[in-house]
Each structure stands twice: as structure tokens, then as C-alpha cells.
Amino acid sequence: MKKLLFTLLLLVTPAWCTITLVHTTTNNSCSGATTCVITLSANFTSGNGAVVMMQNGTTGTTTSSFNTGCTASWTEVPATRQSATGIGAADASYCTNVTGGVGSVTITISTTFASGNVTIWEFSSSLGGIALDSGATPGNIQNNSANCTACTGVTLVLSGNNNFIAFVGLSGGTCSAVTGTGMTLDNNDHGNCEGHGITSGSLTAPTTFTQTSGQNFGTALAMMESSGVSVKSMVPTVE
């Protein structure tokens, strides 16, 4: 019985599961309209997930809609809405099952793009299922309203499943790097640090934003891989 239990635990332990970044695409020239077209570096693959991070130089901006690209539905996360006077605004949206073959996505926002930037991350899960992380705080913001050069990232309270995390730090100076295990800087367009993390467990995403000076206002969103099967229900009780 102990051998059986050990074998079952090996089969359902999520350590072998992986999340993989498929591609990152950014349009850093969104300006003069309420829409922006992101031409993907590779067509979407059905069953993968995606996160979209919107940045705009106008405070109070939020994402309104997408024209295509999600078999489920694009979901904008209010908890990720960041806005800072004199710096700009950002928010994050996600799709749990992208539409295969789609090569471009158009985003519509609540006001005109001014020095705007939109990034799409597509990622895959070895479990075949993707969901918004089920922890207490899968999306959040961080306000570093005092001047900083190593500015605190965004606190996320997560489920412990493997995660794909997207983040941005809106910088009052010029952001050039991020720190933290599994964290990667993808671009610093318009002086803001934008990137992703592949990791697990509650954390700060990223640990810090590294910038020249000024304030920093961060936002982050965590997705998780999900098999749709409860691990606990698959482990028998030994009496």
C-alpha cells in the first residue's frame, strides 16, 4: 500500500509540469487612436494561454476590448489597473485558450493612446490547461511613491501551482533591469520595465525594478497551469 501511495504521489506531484514561453510581441508605437494593432511574431497555437499588458501615457486608461484571438474570452483584471499622475497607466488582460492561427490582435482602450505600448505573451502548459491563479492575490499593483533606484515589485499571493507572470513598472526615470528568481526583462520601452516570470509560489514580481531615479508604479498578473483534476482527490487514504 505504501508503494502504491508513493507511486500515486509521484504521478500527481506538479514538479514535473512545465510552463513554457512561446513568444513575446510588443508594439511600442501605439499613438493617436483608441486602438492599437499587435502583429504577432508567430501565429497563436490553440490551447495556449496569453497575457496582454497595456501601457499608456495618459492616466486613468483601461483596456476596453479585443477584436479576436481568444476562444474563451479576453478578461481585463481590475486589480491590475495602475495609474500615476505624470507617469501614465497600465493594466493586464488574459486569455486561457487562444484561437489557433490568429496572427494579429487589435486592442481598444478607454482613451487615445499617447506614447502607448502593448505587449502580448503567449505561453503553453504541459498539463494542457491554463487558468487565472487561484491564490488570494493573482493580480495586484505596487506604488513606490518615494524616489527609488531599486524599487519594490508587486506582491502576489499565489496557489503554489506553476505560474506564468507578466509585469510592468511605470518609471519616473529610466528602468533598465529587474531582479528575482525566474524573472526576465523583455523590454524597457518608454523607460518602463516590462517582463515576465516563470516560477511558483507567493512572491514579489519582480523582486525589484532597477531604475535611474524617480517614482515607480508596478502592476503584475499571474496565470497558472491547471489539469482540472484535484490532486487531493487522487491520493487514497491509508488506514
Per-residue pLDDT 10s for the chain (239 aa) are: 444 433 433 444 444 468 999 999 999 999 999 999 999 999 999 999 999 999 999 999 999 999 999 999 999 999 999 999 999 999 999 999 999 999 999 999 999 999 899 999 999 999 989 999 999 999 999 999 999 999 999 999 999 999 999 999 999 999 999 999 999 999 999 999 999 999 999 999 999 999 999 999 999 999 999 875 433 323 333 33
Letter string b/e over residues 52-78, b meaning 16 or more CB atoms within 10 A of that residue's CB = bbbbbbbeebbbeebeebbeeebebbe
Report the pLDDT value the prediction gives residue 66, as an integer from 0 to 100.
Answer: 98
Report the pLDDT value the prediction gives residue 228, as an integer from 0 to 100.
Answer: 54
Cell of 154: 508587486
| pTM for the model | 0.89
CA distances for 228 relative to 5, 18, 217, 222, 231, angstroms: 21, 15, 35, 17, 9
